[in-house]
Amino acid sequence: MWEVLKQAWSAIPSTATSNRALIAYCLTIIAWTVIAFRVKRNQNLLGSLEKLPEKDRFIALQAEMGAVRLREGLSPADWLRSRTQLYYFVAFIVLCALVLGLFLIAAYAPAKSASVGKEIQSALQSATQQSQDSALEDIDIGATSEFINSKLGPPKTISPNGSVSLAFYSLPNYYLSAVFVENQVYKYLVTSRNANFHPELRKVGIENKLGLVSFSDLGDSTYPRYFNISSKDVQYAERVLWSMSNAARGSNLDLCYSGVGVDYDTESPTAGLMGMPGFSDIEQEIQKRADSMDSNEAGMSEALKALRKLKPNSYAVLGGNAMADIPDDVVEKTEDPFRNDSCLGYYDLP
């Protein structure tokens, strides 16, 4: 939401050519600013409430928000989430009112207002895209589908299977595939589709950005995990060695390369891969290194070295302590048709 406000502010000079459009635009910015502050306050308060004992949360909520009446069965955290969703809805209504206002203004002054409307629309589209890109910082194991939809909009497709479902989101700069169990994210995959898009990799325990480093550049921070090749595609994944923070989360973290995503390299390091020494035994070599978590390139085949020169275009977070209470029979549903041991199982995108 803050990115939308930044872009909207920068577009004010464009609206100044129409007094009516300028007034409507400024009122919208004011409304969005107020809403943004309220959403941020609710998010901060929600984080604080979760650190308190259950019995103290309602008292803390009243101290911060004043008189609060909770319906029976509604927790203070649920009340805050519902208020946040209400603010998002109001922001959407305000935005719709702005678009309608600009349309009416354009009807009376088409030549001048049409240009203003296009520039505003372009600014809002750019702001929405930036907001969707920054949303990756907030998406993690245990997030609800409602929360993700509030950040990205509804999924392009969703495939339910009892309490398990796969949702696929298609954004301008990336794809997001998420497996939900009981409406919470159990594992998810982010795949870049833009060579200029470089999300942070802190979620997978690496202080770098996607597309700026190869597997080989990461040294012994990752190890070979999975490989598949067809006439149209090469798929390769490495697992991130657990750091203390990852171990606390209980998550498996993967970096991946696939033709589904963007190719960050102008020249593919795997050209002629099938003719390289060691290719015929590469699957066995990768399995052996996966079992021993070994990425030492001493004694590594030329074929595997070539794969490690690829720059990952995807990362995945699989499972975690936040979802540790899932029954075994439900977990089994997440493994078919999605592999549990690698992010590559997600690549059958619609």
For residue 231, the Cα-to-chain-centroid distance in whole angstroms is 30
Question: Would you place residue 260 in the very low, low, confident or very high pLDDT band (cuts 50, 70, 90)?
Answer: confident
The domains of the chain are located at 2-137, 145-346
Which phi-psi region, left, alpha or beta, contains residue 211 (left: φ > 0; alpha: ψ -120 to 50)? Answer: left
* pLDDT band at residue 344 under the 50/70/90 scheme: very low
Across 209-215, average pLDDT: 90
Q: Which two tokens stand for residue 147?
A: 């929360």
User: What tokens appear for 285 in the block?
Assistant: 């070599």
Comparing CA positions, the residue from 322, 324, 289 lying closest to residue 307 is: 289
DSSP E strand boundaries for 182-221: 184-192
Tokens of 300: 């590594």
Average pLDDT, rounded, for the chain: 74
What pLDDT does 288 receive?
A: 93
**Pairing relationship of beta strands 184-192 and 252-258 according to DSSP bridges:** unpaired
DSSP string for residues in 20-74: HHHHHHHHHHHHHHHHHHHHHHHHHHHHHHTTS-HHHHHHHHHHHHSS--PPTT-
Per the model's pLDDT, the better-predicted residue between 246 and 232 turns out to be: 232
Tell me which of 173 and 52 has the higher pLDDT: 173
Contact 224, 295 (CB under 8 A): yes
More confident residue, 119 or 156: 156
Neighbour-count burial for 152-184, b at 16+ CB within 10 Å, e otherwise = beebeeeeeeeebbbbbbebebbbbbbbbbeeb
CA triplet 61, 64, 67: central angle to 5 degrees? 70
pLDDT above 60 (res 45)? yes
Q: Say how far apart CA 252 and CA 279 lie, in whole Å.
A: 27
CA separation (Å) from 62 to 76, 86, 89, 174? 9, 19, 24, 40
Distance, CA of 289 to CA of 296 (rounded, Å): 9
Question: Does residue 338 carry a pLDDT above 70?
Answer: no
Which pLDDT value is given to residue 348? 43
pLDDT (0 to 100) of residue 116: 53
Find tokens 């833009």 and name the residue.
194
Greater pLDDT, 87 or 341: 87
Per-residue pLDDT reduced to its tens digit, 310-319: 999 998 887 6
At residue 311, the pLDDT reads 92
Determine whether 141 is exposed, middle or buried from the number of CB atoms within 10 Å of its CB (0-12, 13-18, 19+): buried
Give yes or no for a cis peptide into 337 (omega within 30° of 0): yes
The residue-averaged pLDDT of 96-123 equals 60
Least confident of 35-39, 61-65, 114-118, 330-334: 330-334
Look at residue 88 and tell me whether its pLDDT is greater than 90. no
Instruction: State in Å, rounded, how far the first CA of the chain is from the last one.
Output: 29
Angle ∠(269,275,281) on CA atoms, nearest 5? 100
Q: Give percent above pLDDT 70 in the chain.
A: 69
Greater model confidence, 142 or 115:
142
Neighbour-count burial of 95, counting CB atoms closer than 10 A to its CB (0-12 exposed, 13-18 middle, 19+ buried): middle
The pLDDT of 67-89, averaged and rounded, is 75
Higher pLDDT pick, 12 / 320: 320
Residue 307 in this model has a pLDDT that exceeds 80:
yes
189-213: average pLDDT? 85
In the block, tokens 């040294």 appear at 219
